Amino acid sequence: MKILVPVKRVIDYNVKARVKADGSGMELANVKMAMNPFDEIAVEEAVRLKEAGVASEIVAVSCGEAKCQEQLRQALALGADRALLVETTVELQPLAVAKLLKAIVDREAPRLVILGKQAIDDDANQTGQMLAALLDWPQATFASKVAVRGEEIEVTREIDGGLETLAMTLPAVVTTDLRLNEPRYATLPNIMKAKKKPLETLTPAELGVDVAPRLATLKVEEPPARKAGVKVASVAELVDKLRHEAKVIP
């Protein structure tokens, strides 16, 4: 079974993201980028399925600027077999990415697509669902456990108040939650080997996909700074403030 793992290049989770001075978007110049952590979990799950003998090949795919190669190399170092980059400098929105991934699925014919439930930059949480809809495949989002049995896949999801287990027939789309697994470290020899694994570059035009943005960003601003607290001298003063200033009690 072939698994497709889409990975996204995002601002590193350690970096304190900041809005550009002109409010047009996030500052990306001189900012460390990394693989979206949820996608890293997706890569790890695919690698584990391969180690368990369930999967035969793992193809990592990323869409965006040429530098996304760094994240694809990371996926290859973690255990993916080969990589595809759909290269474009156009700002990619979830629908465009889903369409690109659909075109890749048509080309590669994987039985399973595993990807992060969302990316930590825009937190859209849409690509996996849109892809499933475009493919007309079953989907299981927010997976915290995945088990493949023949032509069936069982996915456990964390929902409010408990766990939900879904069974689907392959092919299917699964999006990963934080608790699915803990990704391994890329070792030095594997990083070296990854440099030699195949990485193919495509363009949206070659895939016949129009990636023009459908949404316009009007303005990005930072949340207002939290005001400093005050010390109150008595319970009566606290109650008074809660009632008259904060107006949270009648």
Note the residues at the interface with another protein (CB under 8 A): 12, 14-16, 18, 21, 29-32, 182-185, 187-189, 191-192
As measured in angstroms, the least distance from the Cβ of 69 to another protein is 12
As measured in angstroms, the least distance from the Cβ of 228 to another protein is 8
Q: Is the Cβ of residue 21 or residue 246 nearer to another protein in the bound state?
A: 21
As measured in angstroms, the least distance from the Cβ of 135 to another protein is 33
Q: Is the Cβ of residue 191 or residue 199 nearer to another protein in the bound state?
A: 191
As measured in angstroms, the least distance from the Cβ of 67 to another protein is 11
Q: Is the Cβ of residue 109 or residue 192 nearer to another protein in the bound state?
A: 192
Q: Is the Cβ of residue 29 or residue 235 nearer to another protein in the bound state?
A: 29
Q: Which residue matches tokens 């949820």? A: 38
Q: Which residue matches tokens 């601002």? A: 11
Count other C-beta atoms under 10 Å from residue 239's C-beta.
12
As measured in angstroms, the least distance from the Cβ of 148 to another protein is 21
- Residues with Cβ within 8 Å of 141's Cβ and at least 6 positions away in sequence, in order, are 117, 128, 129, 157, 174, 175
Q: 206-238: buried (b, 16+ CB within 10 Å) or exposed (e) per residue? A: ebebebeeeeeeeeeeeeeeeeeeeeeeeeeee
Q: Which of 148, 142, 101, 144 is nearest to 4 (CA)?
A: 101
Instruction: Let me know: does 200 contact 83? Beta carbons within 8 Å.
Output: yes
Q: Is the Cβ of residue 163 or residue 192 nearer to another protein in the bound state?
A: 192
d(CA 195, CA 145): 31
Q: Is the Cβ of residue 2 or residue 184 nearer to another protein in the bound state?
A: 184
As measured in angstroms, the least distance from the Cβ of 188 to another protein is 6
